[in-house]
Amino acid sequence: MPLLELNDVSFTYPGQPPVLKDVSLSLDPGERLSIIGPNGAGKSTLLKLIVGLLSPGKGEVIAFGQARRQESEFQDVRRRVGYVFQDPDDQLFCPTVAEDIAFGPLNLGKSRDEALEIVDQVLAQIGLSHLRDRITHRLSGGEKRLITLATVLAMEPEVLLLDEPTNALDVENEARLVEILKSLPQACLLVSHDAEFRAEIAPTGLELTGGRLHRVG
């Protein structure tokens, strides 16, 4: 059974031409797909529809075998799908790195001690334990990017949605990100302009142009 499906989904922002037109997509367990397309093609919009941050004007979003329509039905999806936003500042809002990473587990009902244990485990996993007590807004752009991934991994998601994850990364941190992502078992939907990165992480490609999604390569 696919983990995520879009069936003939269309979406239009008010006062604008349609962004997505009858888009269909299926992501199976362990599968990794990349989505390419020009700026403004609707790639980020597609990811937001999957987790219910936007609602389709037409079509159906199915996650983990269930059609999702109401906000309450997407709350479970957001616990099981880790969405790394294009801009880390949209995702990091606590004073310190540890607090940002602990936020998700605490919301899932973990105790403070359990949440902090998860913080230490995730940071050790991605080799960033030295950032644990840093003030988040003082991190470099590349460090913020990696910490947003840590906040997602702390939730133990079944699927990763990655929106331009190499933005603001220098060569060293991009290599670290590649190493981390290749070691993870989750299915992944990747939006990226970086062809080399796509080839490493999600070589099977889909192209979004003119509101429609086509398999490429």
- The DSSP string of 9-42 is EEEE-TTS-EEEEEEEEEE-TT-EEEEE--TTSS
Contact between 206 and 214 under an 8 Å Cβ cutoff? The reply is yes
- pTM, 2 dp: 0.91
pLDDT higher than threshold 90 for residue 215: no
Cα dihedral 121, 125, 126, 129, rounded to 10, equals: 40
Q: How confident is residue 3, by pLDDT bands cut at 50, 70 and 90?
A: very high
pLDDT higher than threshold 70 for residue 108: yes
- Report the pLDDT value the prediction gives residue 114, as an integer from 0 to 100: 95
- Report the pLDDT value the prediction gives residue 100, as an integer from 0 to 100: 95
* Residue 47 Cα distances to 30, 122, 161, 215, angstroms: 18, 24, 7, 17
Q: How confident is residue 8, by pLDDT bands cut at 50, 70 and 90?
A: very high
112-125 vs 97-107: helix crossing angle, rounded to 10: 120
Say whether domain 4-216 belongs to CATH 2.60.40.420: no
Q: Where are the domains of the chain?
A: 4-216
The proportion of the chain whose per-residue pLDDT surpasses 70, expressed as a percent, equals 100
- Report the pLDDT value the prediction gives residue 217, as an integer from 0 to 100: 63
pLDDT in tens, 48-60: 999 999 999 999 9
- Report the pLDDT value the prediction gives residue 169, as an integer from 0 to 100: 83
Can you list the positions of beta strands (E) in 37-158?
58-63, 66-68, 81-84
pLDDT in tens, 147-193: 999 999 999 999 999 999 998 788 888 888 899 899 999 999 999 99
pLDDT in tens, 116-149: 999 999 999 888 999 999 999 999 888 898 999 9
Q: How confident is residue 89, by pLDDT bands cut at 50, 70 and 90?
A: confident
Q: What value does the mean pLDDT take over residues 79-89?
A: 91
For the chain, what is the mean pLDDT?
93
